[in-house]
Structure 1
Amino acid sequence: MLRYETFADVRLGGGGFNCGSVASTRDHAPPKVFLDEPYPDNIIKVASCAACNESASLDEQYVACLIEATLRGSTDPDDLQRSKIARTLRRDPALRSKLARAKFDVDGYIAFQPESDRVSRVLTKMARGLWYFEHAEAPTDMETICRWWTAPLSPAAEAEFFRTSSLQGWPEIGSRAFVRACRGLVDSTHSSGWLELQEGRFSYSTDDGRVRMILSDYLYVDALMDA
């Protein structure tokens, strides 16, 4: 993933990306549980208060394990592809049992009933962190309206997911999103709006007043940042 430095006014950032409180630590966006080792050299970190940083770790672990179990149709660590998730379920039998109880069969297709509130909290926090990183603007006064779908998307749904309005405004001057937009005017390699942090694991876009994310080529997320 290409990395752009920010030249935005530092006063825009202020405190932690999620709540605006004094930032005493740095949070990963996305959390490392959604990425494989070795991690990307340009892994994203954003300013955060300790409470926001620490409060979501169990939910993040749950969502990452849910995605992998769904993709493999199993909670057995030996059936999983991601070694990190397999290790987690081996050392946390309670989480493994929780996921196993959520498993059901639909015409021979294995699926899992998600705890939607936990999924929403994780995806919303992730979207807000990426917005802060790309736009140099803490979204503390923004409502984040988050929707998600699972692969495969229908052709119409996929087209809608990737569609970007031609009427979108310019990002904050000096922000990473602004620098990317400027370079896109003269170089088509910078103009897609999508950034791949780790192949097959995580990509995102923060154009058009939205944060869109794709996790493990399976979970498609569209978060509207509503000022």
Structure 2
Amino acid sequence: MSVTADHVPPKAFFPRPRPSNLKTVPACFACNNAAGRDEEYFLAALMFSDAGVTEPGKKLWNQKLQRMYAKNLGLRRHIGSALQAVQLTTPAGIHLGRRMALSIQEPRLEAVATKIVRGLHFLETGSAAPADWDVMCLFVRERRHVEAVAQYNHMLNPGAHSWPQIFQYRRGAVPGQPLKSMWLLWFWRTHIFWITTQPGSSDASNDG
């Protein structure tokens, strides 16, 4: 099996000049290569939201996104077909009119977040997560999700590897049982993913 170095999080999420302290973990070349399309979609989709108007987002548009859309006709067509006019209303019921919004494929975003957590687990513990690690991921977009996640925030500690304008995370794990964990990932200070993990069936008997 061919092994390569995988950046955690993907280095494409950082505008140039990139930090000198980016982290990598060993990864299967075939698996890493296959995940590239979802990582490209993750970046392209979220840059059409609040992330795209942050300072790093503006740099990514100038340095990468415009060129990426020009080269990748399939991605451009996909994003174009996902844009649709919607009626926006505030929680108080105030109508804001019609806006263009992007219909996001959340499973693809969550697949990227899950892959990143696998890499962070290696960085935090020094060992690879098993293939059958039971991982549940939620893209936090609704108020009820924010409220549900907030009740666990006191159980999480800041991650050891963060870049404040691009990516931060918090982690909590059961003492002595690192496969039982909770993660809060924060991208470009605008988008949050909540992830919980449990040992897979083959690990349950060895994890407490």
Q: Same fold (TM over 0.5)?
A: yes
| Paired position in structure 2 for 1:224 | 196
Q: 1:157, CA displacement in angstroms?
A: 5.1
Q: Residues 151 and 117 from structure 1, CA distance in 2 versus in 1: closer, same or farther, beyond 3 angstroms? A: closer
Aligned to 2:166, which of 201, 207, 215? Answer: 201
Rounded to whole Å, the distance in 2 between the matches of 1:38 and 1:151 is 34
Rounded to whole Å, the distance in 2 between the matches of 1:158 and 1:109 is 29
How many residues align structurally? Answer: 175
- Which ranges in structure 1 are unaligned for 5 or more consecutive residues? 1-21, 75-79, 166-191
Q: 1:137, CA displacement in angstroms?
A: 2.2
Rounded to whole Å, the distance in 1 between the matches of 2:3 and 2:69 is 31
Kindly report which structure 2 residues correspond to 1:150-169, keeping only aligned pairs within 5 A, or say none: 150=141, 156=147, 159-160=150-151, 162-164=153-155
| Paired position in structure 2 for 1:128 | 118
Q: Which amino acid aligns with 2:31?
A: C
Rounded to whole Å, the distance in 2 between the matches of 1:162 and 1:104 is 35
Q: Which amino acid aligns with 1:146?
A: C
Kindly report which structure 2 residues correspond to 1:46-65, keeping only aligned pairs within 5 A, or say none: 46-65=25-44
1:207 is paired with a residue whose SS is strand
User: Whose RCO is larger (CA < 8 A, sep 6+)?
Assistant: 1
Q: Residues 34 and 102 from structure 1, CA distance in 2 versus in 1: closer, same or farther, beyond 3 angstroms? A: same
| Paired position in structure 2 for 1:98 | 78
Rounded to whole Å, the distance in 2 between the matches of 1:200 and 1:145 is 26
- Which ranges in structure 2 are unaligned for 5 or more consecutive residues? 88-97, 174-180, 200-208
Structure with more of its chain in strand, by fraction: 2
Q: Which segments of structure 1 move beyond 6 Å, counting only runs of 4 or more?
A: 151-155
Rounded to whole Å, the distance in 2 between the matches of 1:134 and 1:157 is 25
Please tell me whether the aligned partners of residues 46 and 52 of structure 2 are also in contact (alpha carbons under 8 angstroms): no
Q: Residues 221 and 131 from structure 1, CA distance in 2 versus in 1: closer, same or farther, beyond 3 angstroms? A: same
Q: 1:101, CA displacement in angstroms?
A: 0.9
What's the RMSD between the two structures over aligned residues? Answer: 2.7
| Paired position in structure 1 for 2:8 | 29
Which moves more between the two structures, 59-68 or 208-217? 208-217
Q: Which amino acid aligns with 2:100?
A: I
| Paired position in structure 2 for 1:87 | 67
Is structure 2 residue 36 aligned with structure 1 residue 45? Answer: no
TM-score (norm 2): 0.72
Rounded to whole Å, the distance in 2 between the matches of 1:72 and 1:24 is 32
| Paired position in structure 2 for 1:148 | 139
What fraction of aligned residue pairs are identical, expressed as a percent? 24
Rounded to whole Å, the distance in 2 between the matches of 1:161 and 1:100 is 37
Which moves more between the two structures, 140-149 or 57-66? 140-149
Q: Residues 160 and 197 from structure 1, CA distance in 2 versus in 1: closer, same or farther, beyond 3 angstroms? A: same
Q: 1:161, CA displacement in angstroms?
A: 6.1
Is structure 2 residue 102 aligned with structure 1 residue 112? Answer: yes
Q: Residues 157 and 105 from structure 1, CA distance in 2 versus in 1: closer, same or farther, beyond 3 angstroms? A: farther
Q: Residues 46 and 151 from structure 1, CA distance in 2 versus in 1: closer, same or farther, beyond 3 angstroms? A: farther
